[in-house]
Amino acid sequence: MPTIDQTIEVAVPISTAYDQWTQFEEFPHFMGGVEEVRQVTDTLTHWRTSIGGVEREFDAQIIDQHPDQRVAWRSVDGPAHEGVVTFEAVDAGTTRVHVETRWEPDSLVEKAGAAVGADDLQVKADLKRFKEFVENRGTETGAWRGDV
């Protein structure tokens, strides 16, 4: 399973970065290829994606979530994938966001993309757009502070 490992610093307090990340339905605003995310329950999300011409719908389960620290998930159906996003305060107004995800490419296009690192570049670009999204707003669009 390929592993993607990316980190970025965002110029917002840790609670703002974390709270925005918990707003899964906002992901299409900064994640390339994500068409829709629906929060089904506190711990279940339904995704619709279109990446490199490959369209998918799948569910993902939040398996570990602690405010201002981490959000971890794993797929319930579809190609196997899992990951964790961690949040670390660099100072009062800056947060380090670290994404580590593992996934099993299914199609030939996905396997070729993983082989040349396209998936890693996609996550890097998504994090840059997340940074722009949350910094330009200056505040989160909502929050879920539950503990899983």
Query: Closest Cα to residue 24, out of 148, 143, 147?
Result: 143
pLDDT, tens digit (0-9, with 9 covering 90-100), for 46-83: 999 988 788 899 999 999 999 999 999 999 998 889 99
Would you state the structure tokens that stand for residue 124, as one six-digit string? Answer: 């890097």
CA 62/CA 72 separation, integer angstroms? 6
DSSP state, residue 27: G
| Single pTM value for the model | 0.93
pLDDT at 117: 74
- In the three-class reduction of DSSP (H, G, I as helix; E, B as strand; rest coil), residue 119 is classed as helix
- CATH hierarchy code of domain 3-137: 3.30.530.20
- Rg of the chain over Cα atoms, rounded to whole angstroms, equals 15
CB 103 within 8 A of CB 53: no
pLDDT at 145 over 80: yes
Is residue 25 within 8 A of residue 33, CB to CB? The reply is: no
